[in-house]
């Protein structure tokens, strides 16, 4: 009985440690995601402002259409790149959050 109690206590301690590691990894990942989103928003605003200035300075309709087309193209490419990067960050978040619990199930399930 005492051996089983010690095993339960060790399992509880291991669970708490794994949970704390997961919280730490999750916190770091969310900070990275927030920083990435902030940088993207800032760059997007700056790019939009620069495009608007070029658009207002266009002398002809053709030049205005060219400026607008270039802005749309670069904005779309930037969005796709950002979405890919965020997807990778979220995938890393899931992997890092799961990592402390990888061996946990093996410890909990009874051996045959």
- Each residue's pLDDT, cut to its tens digit, for the chain (112 residues) gives 567 778 777 777 877 888 888 888 888 899 999 999 999 999 999 999 999 999 999 999 999 999 999 999 999 999 999 999 999 999 998 888 887 777 766 665 655 5
Q: Does residue 107 sit within a domain? A: no
Q: Does residue 86 sit within a domain? A: yes
* CA dist., res. 70 & res. 88, Å (int): 27
Q: Does residue 109 sit within a domain? A: no
Q: Quote the number of domains for the chain.
A: 1
pLDDT of residue 40: 96
End-to-end CA distance of the chain: 20
Q: Does residue 64 sit within a domain? A: yes
Q: Does residue 81 sit within a domain? A: yes
The label of the residue with tokens 């009985």 reads 1
Structural domain for 71, as ranges:
2-101
State the angle between helix axes of 2-56 and 61-98 in degrees (0 to 180), rounded to the nearest 10. Answer: 170
Q: Does residue 106 sit within a domain? A: no
Under a CB-based contact definition with an 8 Å cutoff, are residues 14 and 107 in contact? yes
pLDDT of residue 1: 53
Q: pTM here?
A: 0.72
């Amino acid at each position: 009985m005492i051996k089983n109690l010690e095993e339960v206590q060790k399992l509880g301690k291991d669970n708490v440690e794994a949970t704390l590691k997961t919280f730490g990894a999750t916190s770091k990942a969310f900070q990275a995601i927030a920083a990435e989103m902030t940088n993207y928003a800032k760059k997007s605003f700056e790019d939009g402002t620069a495009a608007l200035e070029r658009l207002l300075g266009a002398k002809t309709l053709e030049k205005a259409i060219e400026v607008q087309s270039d802005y749309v193209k670069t904005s779309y490419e930037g969005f796709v790149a950002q979405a890919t990067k965020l997807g990778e960050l979220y995938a890393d978040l899931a992997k890092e959050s799961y990592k402390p619990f990888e061996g946990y199930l093996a410890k909990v399930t009874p051996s045959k």
